[in-house]
């Protein structure tokens, strides 16, 4: 087998072979980042480093799978599988299963709360504190909790900071405290807790830190520019002063501050880890130089960044084309016409070779309608997700209860799904009794004390449901045959055959049933891929840790133009890209400009530009329909940063005559202003 670094260019080779001490790899867009990471791991193994001592963390399951697949091709599978590769949350789950009992009333059978669970808990917490539905905006409260956790603040910290303020935050701090209490009582963690509690264990329990440092002597972090405070501190804590730490990232692609990402983590890496080796990857293998020169010119306007200059051996390529259209509807027709013409001229072109990227999701509607009116079905990245469908989440709630009997949210979700005679009155009685008994709802569901307060039929239904869950919880303590046993359970509990009680339309009921059977089939495939008998707890952890890339339903056999936000398109590439809606207030977004976020908006534009391999089109509209009238739009100020040598002036006929909103002369003059301000 040839050396794993044989195919790397000189800069990539340097990034892969400096193994000792801290290393910062600045990997520009399209420079072969994943290849470098996997070759580095393979080289480490080749140099005699035990694979079990290597930890690689990234942000999505898709990225982790790609790394694993590439590593399997570089080293023997027996060695590859000993390397720990996964997301931050999957790594934290490993630590928590071993040590979470040290962090309070949790045990290793903890559940992981998804978005729906969190919303339900916040509503319940607010209600218990005496707030009405009208007084508290649930999502604002949940956003507050997320911000506090991203700032490493527990409820006590939030109360100390906000309880005496005259703002919504005073109420949200109280709700945060009750929300966190409920999570712990139900042996449940949200995604932020997985990071925070892992960090707490590392900081307060020396045996946890010692275990991590002794187990993982070589640490590799992907997409380092996206790390938040908790992730940074976890890395810093494990790394210590002597850790062999390699981080790979691109400050120019830091676009997730709204999720808590802290760009200073990568910008200040040399300060955090003195003596760090710095390697820049600048040779791009994706795009033409016209596209890269445009990207370089745009991002060079930012002040807070490492200096990089992407280049390619693919040649100059076609110039970037910029068009200003009369309105949003005309913009959509224009883009659809251009794509249709390109496909008609080149029979080898696929519709999916074309991506339409926008800053804000609402812009997708005009393009989706335009394509559908032509009989073309666009492929929407980040569209409806299979695992977010109600019937699938209901089935998952039934399974979660088998693993964690303290998960009250799951029981409340499925108590009346399908209807079984346990209505609002029975649920209210159940919750009132819990205030007295201080026991999990599932345990109370099977108690005579509860049954005595119900009608005969309701008591029978409650006893039957509690007994069935208890029986299967015992049975599922044994691993293996997950899919068959899950199907039996969902039939016996009355869910699978009770769908017609929920969905009266037979066709709709059958469609939902098919989705549940597909979910059961997914469980079977999961166990098959593990090549061993698995426990239900293992599957539920994998399910709970699914990220957006897993949850997005993508029909691989469907050929349609791609519609995507720029955020959702990060990490992807397309032969031809249209960046649409390039107007002031849209891109850059008005809200972020008010929050001094211009540099991040420019990084987002840079990400959009670098998705293109062969051709790049940029469009904006002179007017958009808002509030029942057309409103004038100014071109994005980012268009002034485009280098004149890389931009092709549109011919006069490229301007489509508007319907009285804007004159052709106005269009010409506006575009002339853009061209006049282009970089020389």
- Exposed (0-12), middle (13-18) or buried (19+): which is 657, by Cβ within 10 Å? exposed
Mean of all residue pLDDT scores within the chain = 89
How confident is the model over 301-322, as a mean pLDDT? 95
Give the phi and the psi of residue 279 in degrees, each rounded to 5.
Answer: -125, 130
Q: How far apart are CA 11 and CA 284, in angstroms?
A: 12
Q: Which residues are designated catalytic?
A: 33-34, 222-223, 253, 611
pLDDT in tens, 202-236: 999 999 999 999 999 999 999 999 999 999 999 99
CATH fold for domain 311-378+560-655: Rossmann fold (3.40.50)
**pLDDT at residue number 480:** 92
What is the architecture, at CATH level 2, of domain 111-186? Orthogonal Bundle (1.10)
Residue 350 Ramachandran class (φ > 0 left, ψ -120 to 50 alpha, else beta):
beta
pLDDT in tens, 169-214: 999 999 999 999 999 999 999 999 999 999 999 999 999 999 999 9
CA 580, 586, 588, 589 torsion: positive or negative?
Answer: negative
CA 174 to chain centre: 28
How confident is the model over 538-562, as a mean pLDDT? 71
Q: How many Å from the N-terminal Cα to the C-terminal Cα in the chain?
A: 50
Using DSSP, how many helices (H) and how many strands (E) does the chain show?
Answer: 32, 18
Give the phi and the psi of residue 267 in degrees, each rounded to 5.
Answer: -65, -35
pLDDT in tens, 358-382: 998 878 878 988 998 899 989 988 6
CA 334, 339, 342, 347 torsion: positive or negative?
Answer: negative
Q: How far apart are CA 609 and CA 618, in angstroms?
A: 9
The better pLDDT of the pair 64, 548 is held by: 64
How confident is the model over 533-544, as a mean pLDDT? 90
β-pairing, 612-626 vs 629-632, is antiparallel
pLDDT in tens, 501-519: 887 677 678 778 888 988 8
Do 388-552 and 111-186 have the same topology in CATH?
A: no
**pLDDT at residue number 554:** 45
- State pTM to two decimals: 0.81
CA 664 to chain centre: 43
Q: Which helix (DSSP H) or strand (DSSP E) does residue 648 occupy?
A: strand 647-648
**Nearest Cα to Cα of residue 622 among 590, 571, 659:** 659
**Nearest Cα to Cα of residue 311 among 599, 579, 9, 680:** 9
Q: Is domain 388-552 in CATH 1.10.486.10, yes or no? A: yes
Does the pLDDT at position 660 exceed 70?
Answer: no
Q: How confident is the model at residue 672 (pLDDT cuts 50, 70, 90)?
A: low
**pLDDT at residue number 662:** 43
CA 613 to chain centre: 24
CA 577, 580, 586, 587 torsion: positive or negative?
Answer: positive
Does the pLDDT at position 393 exceed 60?
Answer: yes
**pLDDT at residue number 341:** 94
Domain range annotation of the chain: 10-96+196-281, 111-186, 311-378+560-655, 388-552
Does the pLDDT at position 383 exceed 70?
Answer: no
Q: How confident is the model at residue 288 (pLDDT cuts 50, 70, 90)?
A: very high
Contact 60, 92 (CB under 8 A): no
Does the pLDDT at position 416 exceed 50?
Answer: yes
Q: What is the 3-state secondary structure (H, E, C) of 300-360?
A: CCCCCCCCCCCEECCCCCCCEEEEEEEEHHHHHHHHHHHHHHHHHHCCCCCHHHEEEEECC
Share of residues in the chain with pLDDT > 90 (%): 70
Assigned token pair, 423: 């209505």
The better pLDDT of the pair 354, 645 is held by: 354
CATH fold for domain 10-96+196-281: Rossmann fold (3.40.50)
């Amino acid at each position: 087998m040839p050396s794993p670094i044989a195919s790397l260019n000189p800069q990539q080779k340097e990034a892969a072979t400096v193994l000792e001490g801290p290393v910062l790899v600045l990997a520009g867009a399209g420079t072969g980042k994943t290849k470098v990471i996997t070759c580095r791991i393979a080289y480490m193994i080749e140099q005699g480093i035990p694979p079990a001592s290597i930890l690689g963390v990234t942000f999505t399951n898709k990225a982790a799978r790609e790394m694993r697949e590439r590593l399997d091709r570089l080293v023997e599978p027996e060695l590859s599988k000993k390397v720990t590769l996964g997301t931050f949350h999957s790594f934290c789950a490993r630590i928590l299963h071993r040590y979470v009992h040290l962090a309070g009333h949790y045990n290793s059978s903890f559940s992981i709360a998804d978005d729906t669970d969190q919303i339900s808990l916040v509503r319940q917490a607010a209600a218990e504190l005496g707030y009405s539905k009208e007084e508290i905006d649930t999502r604002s409260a949940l956003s507050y909790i997320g911000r506090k956790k991203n700032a490493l603040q527990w409820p006590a910290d939030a109360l100390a900071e906000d309880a005496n303020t005259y703002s919504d935050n005073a109420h949200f701090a109280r709700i945060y405290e009750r929300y966190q209490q409920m999570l712990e009582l139900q042996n449940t963690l949200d995604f932020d807790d997985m990071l925070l509690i892992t960090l707490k264990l590392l900081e307060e329990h020396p045996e946890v830190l010692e275990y991590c440092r002794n187990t993982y002597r070589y640490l590799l972090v992907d997409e380092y520019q996206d790390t938040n405070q908790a992730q940074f501190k976890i890395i810093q804590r494990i790394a210590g002063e002597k850790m062999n730490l390699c981080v790979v990232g691109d400050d120019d692609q830091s676009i997730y501050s709204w999720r808590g990402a802290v760009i200073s983590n990568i910008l200040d890496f040399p300060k955090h880890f003195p003596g760090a080796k710095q390697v820049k990857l600048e040779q791009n293998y994706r795009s033409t130089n016209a596209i890269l020169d445009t990207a370089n010119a745009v991002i060079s306007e930012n002040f807070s960044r490492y200096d990089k200059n992407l280049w390619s051996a693919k040649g100059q390529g076609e110039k970037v084309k910029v068009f200003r259209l009369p309105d949003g509807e005309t913009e959509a027709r224009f883009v659809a016409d251009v794509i249709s013409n390109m496909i008609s001229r080149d029979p080898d072109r696929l519709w999916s070779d074309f991506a339409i990227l926008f800053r804000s999701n609402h812009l997708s509607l005009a393009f989706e309608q335009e394509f559908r009116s032509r009989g073309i079905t666009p492929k929407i990245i980040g569209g409806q997700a299979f695992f977010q469908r109600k019937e699938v989440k209901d089935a998952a709630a039934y399974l979660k209860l088998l693993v964690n009997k303290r998960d009250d949210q799951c029981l409340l979700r499925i108590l009346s799904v399908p209807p079984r005679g346990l209505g609002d009155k029975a649920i209210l009685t159940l919750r009132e009794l819990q205030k007295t008994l201080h026991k999990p709802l599932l345990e109370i569901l099977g108690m005579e004390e509860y049954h005595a307060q119900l009608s005969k039929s309701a008591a029978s239904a409650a006893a039957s449901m509690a007994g069935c869950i208890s029986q299967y919880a015992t049975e599922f303590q044994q691993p293996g045959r997950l899919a068959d046993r899950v199907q039996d359970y969902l039939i016996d509990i009355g869910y699978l055959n009770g769908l017609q009680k929920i969905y009266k339309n037979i066709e709709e009921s059958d469609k939902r049933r098919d989705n549940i059977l597909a979910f059961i089939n997914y469980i079977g495939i999961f166990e098959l891929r593990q090549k061993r008998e698995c426990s239900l707890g293992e599957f539920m952890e994998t399910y709970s840790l699914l990220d957006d890339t897993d949850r997005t339903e993508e029909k691989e056999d469907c050929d349609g133009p791609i519609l995507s936000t720029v955020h959702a398109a990060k990490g992807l590439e397309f032969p031809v890209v249209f960046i649409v809606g390039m107007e002031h207030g849209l891109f850059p977004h008005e809200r972020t400009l008010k929050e001094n976020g211009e540099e991040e908006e420019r990084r987002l534009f840079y990400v959009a530009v670098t998705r293109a391999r062969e051709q790049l089109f940029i469009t904006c509209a002179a007017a958009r329909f808002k509030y029942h009238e057309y409103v004038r739009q100014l071109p994005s100020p980012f268009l002034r940063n485009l280098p004149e040598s890389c931009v092709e002036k549109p011919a006069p006929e490229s301007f489509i005559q508007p319907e009285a909103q804007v004159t052709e002369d106005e269009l010409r003059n506006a575009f002339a202003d853009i061209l006049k301000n282009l970089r020389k």
